[in-house]
Amino acid sequence: NAGVMQNPRHLVRRRGQEARLRCSPMKGHSHVYWYRQLPEEGLKFMVYLQKENIIDESGMPKERFSAEFPKEGPSILRIQQVVRGDSAAYFCASSPPSHSGDTEAFFGQGTRLTVV
Amino acid sequence: DAKTTQPTSMDCAEGRAANLPCNHSTISGNEYVYWYRQIHSQGPQYIIHGLKNNETNEMASLIITEDRKSSTLILPHATLRDTAVYYCILMKTSYDKVIFGPGTSLSVIP
């Protein structure tokens, strides 16, 4: 059972371009979370999705950022018109559809976005 | 969700037990105590979690006080590879969003 897969691992974009970050959750997991970690800072929650639904986007910047988790395929975090301040590590996590607290979320190894 | 407080940093000698404390005095009855860690530049890694009873797995032990207001993560024989930031987090369900505080930066020293 492969873990949470994120790609690309490293992404370089020029200012004004679009960045697309992909996350394939673990098999059987229907909950996906995205986090951002700015250089030398902590992990900040961005958005929580279930298949085809955004459940909580309280941590998403109001502009330029969007996320989706389609019925088929990976979850995508899209950043339009990137700026230097978007340079960060973006982590994805997934968890199974459990209604108890007795499972855990698994994290991918992240995508490191550098805006030049 | 209730908040947790952890020491900012700790040192531990290699081969010794690392005991990482966490205070959660306002924990509610249905909140689990979860521990994650982040080794530099890597994705966070789940360590262990518990509700009331002490728990042990291949990585660590979790000791929760009877009143559940505090807990201790124990790494029985710390190695250099255990140097990381350790996060104590409260969650009601497994699909709660994980909210990371500053955590404890553990340095294992040769």
Average pLDDT, chain A: 92
Residue A1 scores a pLDDT above 80: no
pLDDT in tens, B32-88: 999 999 998 899 999 999 999 899 999 999 999 999 999 999 999 999 999 999 999
SS3 A56: strand
- Mean pLDDT of the B86-110 span: 88
Interface check for B53 against chain A (CB to CB < 8 A): the answer is: no
Cβ–Cβ gap A100/B45 under 8 Å: no
The number of beta carbons lying within 10 Å of the beta carbon of residue A60 is 18
State which residue of chain A sits closest to B101, comparing Cα positions. Answer: A42
> Hey, CA dihedral for A23, A24, A25, A26, is it positive or negative?
negative
pLDDT in tens, A74-112: 999 999 999 999 999 999 999 887 655 567 889 999 999
Interface check for B51 against chain A (CB to CB < 8 A): the answer is: yes
DSSP 3-state helix, strand, coil percentages of chain B (rounded to 5)? 5, 45, 50
8 A C-beta contact, residue B99 and residue B5: no
More confidently predicted of A69 and A104: A69
Q: B 62-91 residues with CB below 8 A of A?
A: 91
Task: Give every CB contact of residue A62 below 8 A, 6+ residues apart in sequence.
Answer: none
Q: What percent of chain A clears pLDDT 70, i.e. is strictly above it? A: 94
Interface check for B98 against chain A (CB to CB < 8 A): the answer is: yes
Q: CB-CB: which of A48, A103, A110 is closest to B94?
A: A103
Residue B19 distance to chain A (closest CA, Å): 22
